[in-house]
Structure 1
Amino acid sequence: MSDSPPASVLLPTVRWTDACREVADQLDPDDELLVLCDDETDPVAARRDELPPDVRLVLAGEPVGCSGKANAIAAGMRAAEHDRLVWTDDDFHHPPEWLATLQADYGRHGPVTELPFFVGRDALSVLLEPLYAGGGTLGVYANDKVWGGAVLFERDDLDEAAFLRDLERTVSDDGLLSEYLDVTPLRRARTVEIGGTVRKSLERHVRFTQIVFRHEPLISAFSTVVALVVTALALLFPVPVVVLATLLHALLYAAFDVRRPTFLLAYPAGLAQVPLTAYGLARRTFVWGGRRYRWRSKYDVEVVERSGAE
């Protein structure tokens, strides 16, 4: 049992997964795990009577003007009993001391977040691992951004009322939280499997591209210019660029204690960045979590349809 204040852990999911069980097993007696789903039709709702006593099911309802994830987090924050809040996801392994370690990290640093390392399950997402290592892992760490898969903060650390108001009219929960919360990213990466099909990977890449564009337009523009310059150099001087890109990504992987051979794909991944960025910005809609969204501006979101495809 830790000496930290009790925490409410918010976990959006439609199914009871290994991650749910892992987090539930780590709760102190005064902690709670809130499993956030849409409605009674979600498979996890059928397990309501089987949930441990310190686990509660929260039905967020259908999102209107925001993403399903943002809607679920907003409902969870309102339902949570405690001032200390933890956000997490159901798609990565939570080791036995995960929650206690985050609690201790807050005592040293204040609001803290871990980092994602996205691991592909199809050809496209495997190819893009070096790009996501640079943007999704190093980018979060170096720019003091939030990863919604593992972040701990207290209500007084931000303007909660304003944050919830904005959360319910946007797409990205952690993109928005990064604007409201001063957070310390920890150099601790969690492996998150993504993709499964090329279509799923394309939809995810569109969402990632538009999150950066909506929340950090200057960074988005700068990154695009850099990618254009690097692509030109890669085509003009392929051998030195191959060597340099591979070496830099090998060092990046090592810095975050990731043992994956995909750093060797840094050169072809870099060549793919410009066309994929253009594709991500040109797309008018994208699918996330079974819903198709049209994201016109940061606070202008339309749920176009509920779809079975990711």
Structure 2
Amino acid sequence: MTSHPPASVVLPTVEWTPACREVADQLDQGDELLVVCDDAADPVARRDADLPDRTRLVFAGEPESCSGKANAVAAGMEAARNERVVWTDDDFHHPPDWLDRFHEDYERHGPVTELPFFVGRDPLATLLEPTYALGGTAGVYAGDNAWAGAVMFERDDLDEESFLADLRRTVSDDGLLGERLDVTPLRRTRQVAVGGTIRETLERHVRFVQIVRHHDPVGMAAMVAAATVATLFCLLAPLVAFPLLTLAYAGIYLAFGVRRWTALLAYPATLCQVPLFAYALARRTFVWGGRRYRWRSKFDVDVLD
């Protein structure tokens, strides 16, 4: 017997990855795993007749005015049978106690989220790891934001009907969830490999910057201002800036239990920020998951291809 309510785990993916099996193996009686893809043409659909117990396949269809990820999450939420819901992604390791620990954390804190630590798979993504640690890990924690890769809540923790309607006309699932849900970030990170090519990393950077731009414009302005000041500091006092930035970022890594040599890239990563912000803010479209999007405002999205 479990001591917690059953949960519906929503996992958008187009392929059956190790994460799917890891989550399926953790399901208790009453739990369910909803593997959400676009349609029957996706590779994961071929497993429909050979899915683990308590696992269902959900077809979300093509997105019309939102991202494919937002569309998949909305479809998964609508198909879910339980009041307690977990969102997760297919691109990181879910240890055997992942779901049980989430339930324990929810009972203590209410809605909870883990934190991503993005690990680069190409030279540019590797160079940017310190800034990912600052914005994507420490920033999510300090800002009490949600990471859609690992979040647990119950339906009555937010206005579900309004939330799902808005989810289907925006890009960022976690950006919107962070606005609508009072969540407690846990100081527990999951390493997520990102990039693969420099082009993929640039597209991801554009998307990240535009998420902040549309969901937190004041924060966006503060980030650009801070990056400008940090760049001037690096250029005017490099012998001071290099060790200070390296120590500061090493401290961020250690605070979240991460030990990676890339903290040593803090100085060159800082020098990249202003040019990358300018590039991302100047772009009018970006590619995510094989689709190109034009994101004019929070609820004005064109799916171009």
TM-score class, shorter: over 0.9
Alpha-carbon offset, residue 83 of structure 1? 0.5
Aligned residues: percent identity? 68
After TM superposition, the score normalised by the length of structure 1 is 0.98
State the secondary structure of the residue aligned to 1:226.
helix
Name 1:154's counterpart in structure 2: 154
Name 2:8's counterpart in structure 1: 8
Inter-partner Cα distance in structure 1 for 2:81 and 2:240: 56
Alpha-carbon offset, residue 53 of structure 1? 2.7
Alpha-carbon offset, residue 75 of structure 1? 0.4
Q: Report the AA paired with residue 210 of structure 1.
A: Q
Inter-partner Cα distance in structure 2 for 1:123 and 1:52: 38
Q: Find runs of 4+ consecutive structure 1 residues off by over 4 angstroms.
A: none
Cα deviations across residues 170-199 of structure 1 (Å, max 9, x unaligned)?
000000000000000000000000001000
Name 2:21's counterpart in structure 1: 21
After TM superposition, the score normalised by the length of structure 2 is 0.99
Name 2:241's counterpart in structure 1: 241
Give 5+ residue unaligned stretches, structure 1. Answer: 306-310
Inter-partner Cα distance in structure 2 for 1:2 and 1:280: 47
Q: 1:286 and 2:295 equivalent?
A: no
Q: Contact 1:2/1:100 (CA < 8 Å) preserved in 2?
A: no
Inter-partner Cα distance in structure 2 for 1:193 and 1:15: 16
Alpha-carbon offset, residue 259 of structure 1? 1.0
State the secondary structure of the residue aligned to 1:26.
coil
Mapping for residues 24-63 of structure 1, pairs under 5 Å: 24-63=24-63
Name 2:86's counterpart in structure 1: 86
State the secondary structure of the residue aligned to 1:99.
helix
Name 1:182's counterpart in structure 2: 182
Name 1:192's counterpart in structure 2: 192
Name 1:222's counterpart in structure 2: 222
RMSD (Å), alpha carbons: 0.6
Q: Contact 2:12/2:37 (CA < 8 Å) preserved in 1?
A: yes
Name 1:259's counterpart in structure 2: 259
Q: Report the AA paired with residue 179 of structure 2.
A: E
Alpha-carbon offset, residue 271 of structure 1? 0.3
Give 5+ residue unaligned stretches, structure 2. Answer: none
Q: Report the AA paired with residue 5 of structure 1.
A: P
Name 1:308's counterpart in structure 2: none
Cα deviations across residues 10-60 of structure 1 (Å, max 9, x unaligned)?
000001100000000000021000000000000000110000130000000
Q: Report the AA paired with residue 90 of structure 1.
A: D
Q: Contact 2:119/2:193 (CA < 8 Å) preserved in 1?
A: yes
Alpha-carbon offset, residue 2 of structure 1? 3.1
Q: Report the AA paired with residue 129 of structure 1.
A: E
Inter-partner Cα distance in structure 2 for 1:77 and 1:177: 13
